[in-house]
Chains A and B, each alone.
Chain A
Amino acid sequence: MTYTRTNVYENGGDFSNPTILWYARGVAAMQARALADPTSWRFYAAIHGIDRRLWTHYGYLSPSDQMPAQDQIDLFWNQCQHGTWYFLPWHRGYLLALEATIREVVTGLGGPSNWALPYWNYFAPDEFKLPPAFASPDWPDGKGNNPLFIKQRWGPKNNGDVYVPLDQVNLDALNEPEFTGVASGGSPGFGGVDTGFEHNGSPHGLLENQPHDMVHVFVGGRNPANRVLPGLMSYPPTAGLDPIFYLHHANIDRLWEVWVREPTSLGNPTEAQWVNGPASIGGHPFVMPNPPKGTPWYYTPGDVADLANLDYVYDNMSPAGVTAAVAERLERLHLAAGAAMEGAARMATTRHNVELVGAHDQELRIAGSAEVRATVRLDAPAHRRMTANLAAAAPEMAPAAAPDRVFLNLEKVRSLSDATVLQVYVNVPDGANPADYPERWAGNVGLFGASQATAADGEHGGAGLTFVLEITHVVNTLHLQNELDALEVRIVPFDEVPEEAEVRVGRVSVFRQGR
């Protein structure tokens, strides 16, 4: 049977949509199961990650809970793949297993045997708000016990109004031709960086950063009573407890397939290390508990990469808002339109040629609502190479050459709070409000996972996260206006950053990627 994942906003996103009602019943049944049961809601959440201190603080773990056997914990828990090129396939398998578990409950309760997980496409018109079924403590089966309602979901302004601010998210990732990126300052790729045998904290892939991280942080927000504590969705070790998590990830999964079908996409990796998964290079295998008894299901990226080989489809594959940015950019730089596709391919094949162009050497500290500025000094020879390359893309030059792409890096970002979004602008005139200059907007970063990366004994050894934002559009404009002498970067907190979060940016740097 082929299952169809549908938009959660069918019938307005409330309980009149039977898919949501049955999802809620499935979640309720899983929530009622003991933590040690591999098909319970909390066990599934812990597969993504568990922070026992915060789970206990928020009431999801109590001393009376019997923990699973240690071998079960070692096998299943804390698997989530963030900042690796396995991010998309691992989450696809995670959704498949959860969906199968809920479907098993649904059919057991007499529900539809073709039930499938809905997705939340916040980019669709008027669908940016949390679906109503998730926002009320009441539901058709009871008062005050809606299993889809979560108290620790505070939204972008930390006041319980949960929505995705559409001016802060985008689908630019879909314009990236290559799945695999580089960790050396250039594009981190659509799906992330080849993490190899040794994981030293690679930047998040483009789709992972935007919209994935951003939606996590905007939906979860931070605890208004203790502003360092995150909402469930804002923090990887609690995110899986929130039922909206799986609808958000179904949309991310859908966007992966949208990207695969994009004409400019060069497709999924074919390297054996990706296809065979981390187990082939000494990492933890992808493994999920399958219903009804939670028997382990092992899978690899190669098993789940092609949707045609799986048993589900999406009812709509329109991405909402994608532009053919590569072609657009080449045309703006007066390159022959016919060369656009060729240009995309060239951009893809030059991914290893990355060079530092400029940097701001001082560490930046971000607190409160005040913007922080950094002047990126450009290295003269690197600057010359970049501008020469941009000039070579002009019409009088032949043969047509693909211009460099330029990336802004926020290196070694450390924070004790993940629930922080930073807006980054480049060369906004002095005294002007950055919000009035959308064309100078480099992008946003959401600090999803930053607190774990800041911990000295965490996965990154305390070095923090590095975020990569493409600023070729800004550099193009500055180049055409002969203003490409220095880059003035402004970092504007989306919301007030508490002092206790200790948000720091180790270095702001600019890289060119091209010939």
Chain B
Amino acid sequence: MRVRVPLLAIGAAAWLALVLAPVGPAHGSMHSMRWTPVSLVTEAALMFMAMMVPLSGAPVRHVRDRSFACRRWRAVALFAASYALPWIATTVVLLIAAAWIVAADSPVVLALAVVVVAVCQSSPQKQHCLNRCHAHPALAAFGVKADLDVLRFGLSHASWCIGSCFALMLLPMLFTRGHLAVMAGVTLWLAGERIEKPMLPRWRWRGPGKIVRVARGQVRVWAKRFEKTRSCASRPHCMQGPDIL
């Protein structure tokens, strides 16, 4: 909770900024606006915060929990910096690539981009990257070594994270209209992939499996609870039993 809530708040703020921005993707101007270095980096940073920050609970919690209380903020800040910078740089490259693909206005180029996304999504390399996202290394606790370990962890986590997500990140950028809706869908998709258990890398199609299963499981729980409440309406002690599916 101490980690999840601030991360979700950062994500929500970024979404709000994307929606309320006077120009940009929410207004269909993503590919027609004139990019300046500042606007490009701002856009990339907002995309990173909206899509990736809410997914980084586990590594941030690892850094926080395994650091001395007096160093927690510093450790988390170092991790955030070393995790964010490679991601923002990658997103800038992806935005430029997407702008070029859209500007080409060629069905062949677009189809090629979609094929690249699909191949990356199905590759064993993607699974390996996803698996490695679950690895949280031992961190030194004292002095410069502690700072360096956290920086190293941020960089390595970013590299596995980029390896597993970059292709899907490209997808919403190819949409001149409905960009934010696609981006929201991709964020949920990535969340589903991230909370899935590691598995053996091999060629296979990867969907947002777990997020769908979570939703289905929760619907079943609530349906059961509703059914129980209804059937218990006339029996005062009925609800005290175990809450079983």
Whether chain B is bound by chain A comes out as: yes
SS class, residues of chain A in contact with chain B: loop
**What is the bound-complex CA distance between A200 and B132, given in angstroms?**
11
**Is A282 within 8 A of B195, CB to CB?**
yes
Please tell me which one of the listed residues A280, A356, A462 contacts residue B245 in the complex, with CB atoms under 8 A apart: A280
* A412–B243 CB distance below 8 A: no
Q: Is the CB of B134 within 8 A of A463?
A: yes
- Distance of A364 from chain B, by nearest CB (Å): 10
Give A275's nearest chain B residue, CB to CB. Answer: B243
B136 at the interface (CB under 8 A from A): yes
Q: List the one stretch of A209-217, A375-383, A434-442 in contact with chain B.
A: A375-383
Residue contact A185 to B66, C-beta cutoff 8 Å: yes
| Residues of chain B with a CB closer than 8 A to A381's CB | 68-70
Contact present for A356 and B69 (CB under 8 Å)? yes
Which residues in A have their C-beta under 8 angstroms from that of B127?
457
A459 contacts chain B at the CB level, 8 A cutoff: yes
CB closest chain-B residue, reference A355: B69
Residue A50 lies at the interface, judged by CB distance under 8 Å to chain B: no
Query: Are A282 and B138 neighbours in the complex by a CB distance under 8 Å?
Result: no
Q: How many residues belonging to B are interface residues under a CB distance threshold of 8 Å?
A: 48
Q: Does B111 contact A (CB under 8 A)?
A: no
Flag if B214 contacts A458 (CB, 8 Å). no
How far is A24 from B245 in the complex, measured between Cα atoms in Å? 36
A306 to chain B, nearest CB (A): 7
Q: Which of B9-17, B39-47, B139-147, B229-237 interfaces with chain A?
A: B139-147
Do B137 and A280 touch across chains, with their CB atoms under 8 A apart?
Answer: no
- Which of A233-241, A297-305, A425-433, A492-500 sits within the interface? A297-305
- One digit per residue, 1 when the CB lies within 8 angstroms of any chain B CB and 0 when it does not, for chain A 170-202 equals 000000000000011100000000000111110
B67 beta carbon closer than 8 Å to chain A: yes
Known: A199-B197, A355-B69. Contact between A411 and B138, CB under 8 A? Answer: yes
Q: Is the CB of B135 within 8 A of A359?
A: no
Partner of A280, one of B135, B201, B221, B242: B221
Distance in angstroms between the alpha carbons of A279 and B141 in the assembled complex: 37
B218 interfacial contact with A, CB 8 Å: yes
* Cβ-defined partner of B217 (8 Å) among A280, A356, A456, A460: A280
* Residues on the A chain within 8 Å of B128, using CB: 456-457
Does B228 sit at the interface, judged by CB under 8 A?
no
Inter-chain contact count A-B, CB under 8 Å? 138
Q: How far is the CB of B149 from chain A (nearest CB, A)?
A: 8
Q: When the two chains form their complex, are residues B198 and A461 in contact, meaning their CB atoms are under 8 A apart?
A: yes
A397 within 8 A of B: no
Q: Are B68 and A456 in contact (CB under 8 A)?
A: no
A290 CB-CB contact with B under 8 Å: no
User: How far is B102's CA from A300's CA once the two chains are assembled, in angstroms?
Assistant: 50
Q: Which residues of B contact A355 (CB under 8 A)?
A: 68-69
Q: Does B221 contact A272, Cβ atoms closer than 8 Å?
A: yes
The answer to whether B242 touches A305 (Cβ under 8 A) is yes
Q: Name A271-292 residues within 8 Å CB distance of B.
A: 272, 275-277, 279-283
A506 at the interface (CB under 8 A from B): yes
The answer to whether A461 and B135 have CB atoms under 8 Å apart is: yes
A412 touches B195 (CB 8 A): no
In angstroms, how far is the closest chain A Cβ from the Cβ of B206? 15
B38 at the interface (CB under 8 A from A): no
Contact assessment for B198 and A457 in the assembled complex, using a CB-CB cutoff below 8 Å:
yes
- Are A461 and B242 in contact, with the CB atoms below 8 A? no
Complex Cα–Cα for A400 and B244 (A): 40
Check A272 against B137 for contact (C-beta < 8 Å): no
Interface residues of A in 387-416 (CB under 8 A from B): 411-412
Q: Which residues of A (4-33) have their CB < 8 Å from a CB of B? A: none
| Chain B residues with CB below 8 A from A359, complex form | 140-142
**A356, B68: Cβ atoms closer than 8 Å:** yes
Q: Does B91 contact A (CB under 8 A)?
A: no
CB of A467 to closest CB in B, whole Å: 13
Contacts A282-B211, A300-B244, A507-B66 known; 20 new A-B pairs at CB < 8 A? A270-B243, A279-B213, A279-B217, A279-B245, A281-B218, A282-B214, A302-B245, A306-B242, A356-B66, A356-B69, A358-B141, A361-B142, A382-B69, A411-B138, A461-B134, A463-B134, A506-B137, A507-B139, A507-B140, A509-B141
The 4 closest A-B pairs by CB, nearest first: A506-B138, A461-B135, A461-B134, A282-B214
Interchain Cβ contacts under 8 Å between A and B, 29 examples = A184-B61, A184-B65, A185-B66, A197-B210, A198-B194, A200-B136, A270-B243, A272-B243, A276-B243, A276-B244, A279-B213, A281-B218, A282-B195, A282-B210, A306-B242, A354-B65, A356-B141, A358-B141, A359-B141, A363-B138, A382-B69, A456-B131, A457-B131, A457-B198, A461-B134, A462-B131, A507-B140, A509-B66, A509-B141
Interface residues of A (CB under 8 A from B): 183-185, 197-201, 270, 272, 275-277, 279-283, 300, 302-303, 305-306, 354-356, 358-359, 361, 363, 377, 379, 381-382, 411-412, 456-463, 506-507, 509
